[in-house]
Amino acid sequence: MLRIEFQIRLAGIPSQIADIDSQVSSVEIDNALPVAGDSVFLSLTAQFGSDISQDTLAEKLPGVQIIDMSKADVNQHTYYLGVIAALSDASVLSLLTENQAIPHRIVGRNAHLNVVASVRDWNHLKEVANTVEDEHGSLELVGTTQTETIGFPLGGNKIKQSMSGKLSDKQLEVLETAYRMGYFKVPQEVTAEEIASELDISRSTLSERLRRVEHNFCELLFGPQE
């Protein structure tokens, strides 16, 4: 099985949300459930440039029914949305599932949709790419890796969903960089100084952010501290 990452131009509901505000930095489709009549229920995470109300959003998205909207605890201007939209508003997702590919991530950012999906093999990759290109124009393959497991399909990563909004962007950046650079491996592949240098922050700032991440993880697991 191959895990692939590709880019297409922004389309569907991420594109509609990005059109609302030029400061929208990302729109991610977290989950999708089919509903009657060629519609789909979508869970979305959207990072706006400023605060936005549900009424304003509803007004700007006339074809979309907003079922739920909440603001993240930590990150400013990040909202979790539950919406019912036309299936065509999530067409890349439909194309992937219709072609038996497994979608993992669909994120709208910088005028592109970044998509991570699993396909069976090279021929399956071609089928999926051709279908997506027919519908969305050009497709750019970004990366690939071999995998034995299907990983977390879209909406299947419960830990990530639980942690959404519990960590700030800066904390997530520190955590991801430390993880990618091998800080948590035994033995460590990188020192704290090297991570701090990579992120252009001081060692003490790095340490503080990582401790806050650990605190938030513990709070989620064990409840608030007495």
Partner 1 sequence: MTTILIINSVEQQPTVREVLSSVVDAGETIYFLRLPTVRCLGPLIQDINPMIEYDVEYTISCLPEGYDVAELVEFAVETDADRICIGISERTVTGKARIDDLTESVLLHDRISGDFVVGEHAIILEELDYAQ
Q: Give contact residues for partner 1 (rule: CB under 8 A).
A: 2-5, 116, 121-123, 125-126, 129-130, 140-146, 176, 180
Between 86 and 181, whose beta carbon lies closer to partner 1? 181
CA dihedral of 184, 189, 194, 196, whole degrees rounded to 10: -10
Between 127 and 208, whose beta carbon lies closer to partner 1? 127
In degrees and rounded to multiples of 5, residue 182 shows phi and psi of 90, 25
* Residues 220 and 163 sit within 8 Å (Cβ to Cβ): yes
DSSP structure class, residue 182: T
Shortest spacing between CB 5 and partner 1, in angstroms: 6
Q: Cis before residue 224, ω within 30 degrees of 0?
A: no
Shortest spacing between CB 177 and partner 1, in angstroms: 9
Between 151 and 165, whose beta carbon lies closer to partner 1? 151
How far apart CA 165 and CA 81 sit, in angstroms, is 13
Shortest spacing between CB 142 and partner 1, in angstroms: 6
Cα 175-79-215 angle, rounded to 5 deg: 35
| Cβ atoms < 10 Å from Cβ of 89 | 23
Shortest spacing between CB 89 and partner 1, in angstroms: 26
How far apart CA 81 and CA 100 sit, in angstroms, is 27
Between 126 and 215, whose beta carbon lies closer to partner 1? 126
How far apart CA 88 and CA 166 sit, in angstroms, is 32
Shortest spacing between CB 3 and partner 1, in angstroms: 7
Between 10 and 117, whose beta carbon lies closer to partner 1? 117
